[in-house]
Structure 1
């Protein structure tokens, strides 16, 4: 048992850019992530425009791992509405595709002043640890107030209340193999964990043990705090022991592995003994995580 990221386009007004990674991804000493700037392959920009985006990207605050973020940088008024220029950032360990997203424009007091659903199939895939600028066209019908302020606003995802509490999800193989007592233990564990941030996906180690062949079996809880199901196809993982040493690392290919919205799903990854690089790891305390993209 093994444990453990389209619709009709409405962004015709969006300028096109050339995909040009500008900088390496960096991890701060506090574990925060500095993303890499990525332009859409079809966008065409002058060198001056690229420089402006690079400068604004450098001013963005660092993010925690496993986040999807949106930050507005400019608002352009016109007769029939307005355009918000924003950065979409992804610090998940894999690329993501957006379909329909609900966005809010908030005033300086956090009150909604405009809202609209956008179909982002034209954005294509947002790479892992990347930041991509995009333009969001709002019409006058999307306004919730008469006048949109030019300053003090921010753009945000509309976070809809979940219809149910965060729950345990088990693969069929797990349902058939674990006892009712083990399932109850997992349900209590999921209920006791800190609440995930909206849209957050993270990995929590549950158990490590050696197989008779001296392979290392690592049981992980994949926690999906978003309102959408996620599909994981392959994922690299690192196991670090209590001494801060890397015990093993490797990549795993998953077959149609889905984690439903607002659920946590356990899975076990088997690291072959050849990948276990520390002979006697201190597993009194340990953690598992995807490596930062270089």
Structure 2
């Protein structure tokens, strides 16, 4: 087996790219329990791999340095790369925090530079990898050649990532809709996470429109910033001019409420659109809300 390990094993690489991810979201259903914050994985070496005990120790070391994941994620992260003539052998970890094992068939992987732009792309047949157990982290080797490079060269430094390529959905399926400002401000990795989140949400019933919480945080100026996913399960476009919202924090107490004026805000049929709403500090009933669990919802008419 080829050695990918650098002499300096004291370097902690936290430059992970979780993709193909089911990101936990705070549902607007008050009866839903918040998801656990972190999920542990155990190192799993493929039974066909015959590696020396020293290499196993190095894998264990790098596995221990990986950032924590949340439940229900499939993540891929780089470990190392070795160049051999005109090829690049990427050693990577695939982690599974689902409650069941998974099996990959063909997957397309991207190598991304520091700006999130792909500089290499290749499709791999992972049938030989077999089942990846629940809660497992398994190393695997991916061979890229110069023909797979979409950029000019492989970056000379270590500032790059490996990611699953997003599969485009058929027009008839529920899709993510991004405002032009979001398209311009998000990088490829962030867009991929949103696309994967939308694709893994439970399907909407015909005509259903609902709100899913993505993120709530306190801004530096003490305003409350809340990002929602507005989901339109109907076959017609909807336009929103004014949206009243209430926010409850982890204590279950009303933290803020307000009405938001929207200009030319449209959610196309069968799409989900993320948007951020700002509750000014003056509207907060609690200046230090508990954001470990929360919900946001339109008030009852």
TM-score normalized by the length of structure 1: 0.48
TM-score normalized by the length of structure 2: 0.47
